Structures are given as structure tokens and as C-alpha cells.
């Protein structure tokens, strides 16, 4: 009788463990479905487009609540003597990636933009087609954003507009890497000289405080929009748009009377 009781206890324990494990799997699956339903990945169209970003995740609330959002129509409100941009690019790039939202060139460490004595390291530059920012009401077919960050997380972006014209040598090297397998980094080495010619030789700029133009739309970003556009050929612009696969520009946001320095 004792032997039968032991076997019965073992069998009962096994049944309970199996049931518990199955319940845990069901709860985990339900939690995953719940998280997926409430944390949709953002995009540029439909129910995940810019007008819906703030509803996709609580962390994206600034996309609708922020009062210093980017991009904007850049129209100067304050005429002052702006210091020349203190750019020190010397390391070049290491890779390129189509991350599903843009074509992004990743930079080796050490390139900096210095603002008020503080170094912001260049992390990457990427493209939007058509442009996100407008300048005095004008939209451009292509815009590049050079994204910089300090060690404590402060951000600064230099924006370069492109108008249709002669070929850009750096864009030639980038376009030759297409097509890119999405979310897979590919090697791309651009020297300092190639980084220099992405930007125009004359680097007068507009300055204002704005935000990231993608979720979570974080604010307190220093924006420097260069006044002189660069040129890119129609073929280069078309190749960039084809690789990105969509218009990846957030609509212009309200300036809300913010100071735009010229």
C-alpha cells in the first residue's frame, strides 16, 4: 500500500507541474500578445505614421505633447552674430545600414562638434527624402542629418539640404553600396575628405532648439541647419529614395514662437 501511495504522489506532482508549466506558457503568450498590441513599431504611413506615434507607446508622448518639436519651417526670428561651427571630423566612417527607416552611415569614434566648449561626438549621419525641415517655405528632395551626442546624452544635429544638380562624390560611394539587406550592417569606409564633401564649403547656419524627428521625439536638441544646400544628381536622389523605400519625412511641426537664430 505504501508503494502505491508513493507512485500516486509522484504522478499527482507530475500532473500539477505540467499544468503549472502550461499555465505559465499561456500567461507568457498572452503577455507577449498584449505587449505587441500596445507597443506597435512606428513608421511613416497608416496607423503607425507620425500622427499616431504618441499612441503607440507611452514613451512617445512628446511626439504630441512637446512644444519644441522638429522638423520645422526654418524662418529666422533673431538676427545675431553666430560663431562658426567648430567641426573636427577626421576619423571617417566604418559601416552603412538600412535600418528600416533610413539609410544610416555609422562613424568611427573621435569626430566632434564643439558647442560652448563642450564636445559632441559624431555618431552617424542619415538621410530623409524628401527633406524634413523646410527653409523659408522651401522643401528639398533630400536632407542629411549628422547626429552628435555628449557623454551625458545631450544631442546636436547638423542638417544639410540637397537640391538637384551635379553628382555628390560621397553619395556616389554610398549609392554604390545599394541594395542593402535591411538591418544588416555593411562595410563602408569614407575618409575625412568624403565626410567634408557631404557638407557645403560655406557653413553659415540657422540655430534653434528642437527635438528628434523620430520617436521618442526627445526635446532639447541643438539644431544647426546649414543655409547653403549641397547638390545631388537626380539619379542619386532617386536611388536613395528607392533604397529607403518610402517618403521618410515627418511633417513640419509648429514652431510655437521659438527663437530661430540667423
Buried b (16+ CB within 10 A) or exposed e, 142-173: bbbbbbbeeeeeebbbbbbbbeeeeebebbeb
Catalytic pick from 101, 128, 145, 148? Answer: 101
Residue 29 annotated to the active site: no
- Nearest Cα to 206, choosing from 80, 65, 98? 80
Question: Taking the CA of residue 114 as centre, how many other CA atoms within 13 Å lie in the half-sphere pointing to its CB?
Answer: 10
Cα–Cα dist 15/18, whole Å? 5
Contact 160, 199 (CB under 8 A): yes
Q: Indicate which residues carry an active-site annotation.
A: 101
Amino acid at each position: 500500500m505504501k508503494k502505491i501511495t508513493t507512485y500516486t504522489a509522484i504522478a499527482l506532482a507530475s500532473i500539477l507541474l505540467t499544468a503549472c508549466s502550461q499555465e505559465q506558457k499561456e500567461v507568457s503568450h498572452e503577455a507577449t500578445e498584449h505587449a505587441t498590441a500596445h507597443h506597435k513599431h512606428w513608421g511613416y504611413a497608416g496607423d503607425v505614421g507620425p500622427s499616431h506615434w504618441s499612441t503607440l507607446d507611452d514613451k512617445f508622448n512628446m511626439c504630441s505633447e512637446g512644444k519644441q518639436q522638429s522638423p520645422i519651417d526654418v524662418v529666422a526670428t533673431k538676427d545675431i552674430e553666430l560663431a562658426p561651427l567648430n567641426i573636427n571630423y577626421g576619423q571617417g566612417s566604418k559601416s552603412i545600414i538600412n535600418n528600416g527607416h533610413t539609410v544610416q552611415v555609422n562613424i568611427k569614434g573621435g569626430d566632434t562638434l564643439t558647442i560652448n566648449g563642450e564636445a559632441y561626438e559624431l555618431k552617424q549621419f542619415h538621410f530623409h527624402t524628401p527633406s524634413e525641415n523646410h527653409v523659408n517655405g522651401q522643401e528639398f528632395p533630400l536632407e542629411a542629418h549628422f547626429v552628435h551626442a555628449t557623454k551625458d546624452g545631450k544631442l546636436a544635429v547638423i542638417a544639410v539640404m540637397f537640391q538637384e544638380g551635379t553628382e555628390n562624390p560621397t553619395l556616389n560611394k554610398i549609392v554604390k553600396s545599394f541594395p542593402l539587406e535591411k538591418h544588416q550592417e555593411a562595410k563602408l569606409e569614407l575618409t575625412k575628405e568624403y565626410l567634408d564633401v557631404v557638407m557645403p564649403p560655406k557653413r553659415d547656419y540657422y540655430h534653434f532648439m528642437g527635438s528628434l524627428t523620430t520617436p521618442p521625439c526627445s526635446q532639447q536638441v541643438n539644431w544647426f541647419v546649414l543655409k547653403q544646400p549641397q547638390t545631388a544628381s537626380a539619379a542619386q536622389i532617386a536611388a536613395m529614395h528607392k533604397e529607403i523605400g518610402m517618403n521618410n519625412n515627418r511633417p513640419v511641426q509648429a514652431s510655437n514662437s521659438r527663437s530661430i537664430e540667423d
